[in-house]
Amino acid sequence: MNKIGIIVLGIVVTTAAIVAFPFFSKKAAAPESKNVEPTKTIKNAIMTITSPSFRENGSIPKKFTCQGENINPELRFGGAPEEAKSLALIMHDPDAPMPGGFTHWVMWNIEPLTTAIKENSAPPGASEGKNGAGKTGYIGPCPPSGTHRYFFKLYALDAVLNLPAGADKNSLEAEINKHLLAEAEIIGLYQR
């Protein structure tokens, strides 16, 4: 093939590529757009839970345990989504020596504008459920041995829950899974 033939062939291949590029790029993009599910946009969904009583991954003071006054520590909330109709709270010890760990506190239908739960109290109108000891309300850390982790998990929900008084963690989690908008947690540690 002479030089002119090579140049002509090069021009034909380049032109074909330029003409075909938009066709192939559109075809490649189409399946992606069909398979993507729309996502739910939540305004102000960066929610927080903190405590003035202990820092993240810090020791929970004895006052709030079975060796002290056995009362709940103060908790502070921020950033609940505007869409929230209620908040729920679960305090759980996954390190307890029974299957599934031990639940220390469950609470739901907390007013969504609530910014704190004071020491030794529950917010007005909130419902408390059964802890791992089968009693309603808070029960403090009381690990048999070693250092345990205590997860305080806060949930923003898109509904006020219709749970019976004294419901347990499993019942509450089933409802949370249906109505969850946002969540946050803080972990405290305790060793006897």
Is the separation of the CB atoms in 140 and 70 below 8 Å? yes
Write down the pTM of the prediction: 0.76
Sign, CA dihedral 79-115-76-112, equals negative
Distance in Å from the first CA to the final CA of the chain: 89
pLDDT at 2: 52
Residue type, 124: P
| Average pLDDT of the chain, as a whole number | 84
Mean pLDDT score, 22-39: 37
If pLDDT is split at 50, 70 and 90, which confidence band does 29 have? very low
Look up residue 24 and give its DSSP letter: H
pLDDT at 165: 85
Q: Provide the token pair at 29.
A: 């993009």
